[in-house]
């Protein structure tokens, strides 16, 4: 691939912008699916959207200010991978089961390099679940 050819760079830019637009539209569609099910996952999807816009800003800076083309190619693919690997997309698009495995609710708090203390993880015993349900009903 000739990354110095301006015609080829325009194609890569279009591919990047198109893929990011599709990911953002998928996120909004996922939010509408979640609202129809009256679920509480909309906050997590909003966080994902913020991350997408931050990623777009960083890649735009790298490309426009410093002339890097490679992040455009990588993020064209990674946007889809990141979206479809979220727990919310796996639950609401692919009918993932929330009764066991990593999609089990309440979700574990994810952090880079596993730096989250086990005490901060959500409680899954019956008493903690009943307290949480009571608190939700009180709202």
| Co-location of 69 and 111 in the same domain | no
Within a domain: 101: no
The pair of structure tokens assigned to 16 is 């990047």
Q: What residue numbers bound the domain in which 75 lies?
A: 6-96
Q: Cα–Cα distance between 17 and 79 in angstroms, integer?
A: 11
pLDDT at residue 115, rounded to an integer: 60
Asked if 80 and 119 sit in the same domain, the reply is no
pLDDT, one tens digit per residue, over 7-51 is: 889 999 999 999 999 999 999 999 999 999 888 888 889 999 999
d(CA 24, CA 81): 13
Query: What is d(CA 109, CA 124) in angstroms, rounded to the nearest whole number?
Result: 13
Report the number of distinct structural domains present in the chain.
2
Bigger pLDDT: 127 vs 83: 83
> Quick one: 69 and 129 in the same domain?
no
Q: pLDDT tens digits for 100-138?
A: 777 766 666 666 655 655 555 565 567 766 777 777 777
Please indicate, yes or no, whether residues 38 and 69 belong to a single structural domain of this protein: yes
Say if residue 88 is in the same domain as residue 65: yes
Q: Indicate if 74 and 132 belong to the same structural domain.
A: no
């Amino acid at each position: 691939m000739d990354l110095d050819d301006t015609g080829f760079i325009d194609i890569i830019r279009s591919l990047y912008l198109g893929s990011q637009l599709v990911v953002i539209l998928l996120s909004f569609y996922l939010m509408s699916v979640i609202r129809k099910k009256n679920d509480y996952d909309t906050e997590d999807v909003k966080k994902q959207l913020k991350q997408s816009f931050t990623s777009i800003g960083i890649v735009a800076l790298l490309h426009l200010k410093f002339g890097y083309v490679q992040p455009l190619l990588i993020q064209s693919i990674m946007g889809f991978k990141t979206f479809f690997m979220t727990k919310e997309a796996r639950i609401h698009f692919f009918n993932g089961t929330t009764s066991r495995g990593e999609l089990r609710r309440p979700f574990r708090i994810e952090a880079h390099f596993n730096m989250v203390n086990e005490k901060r993880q959500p409680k899954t015993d019956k008493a903690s679940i009943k307290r949480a349900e009571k608190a939700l009903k009180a709202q």
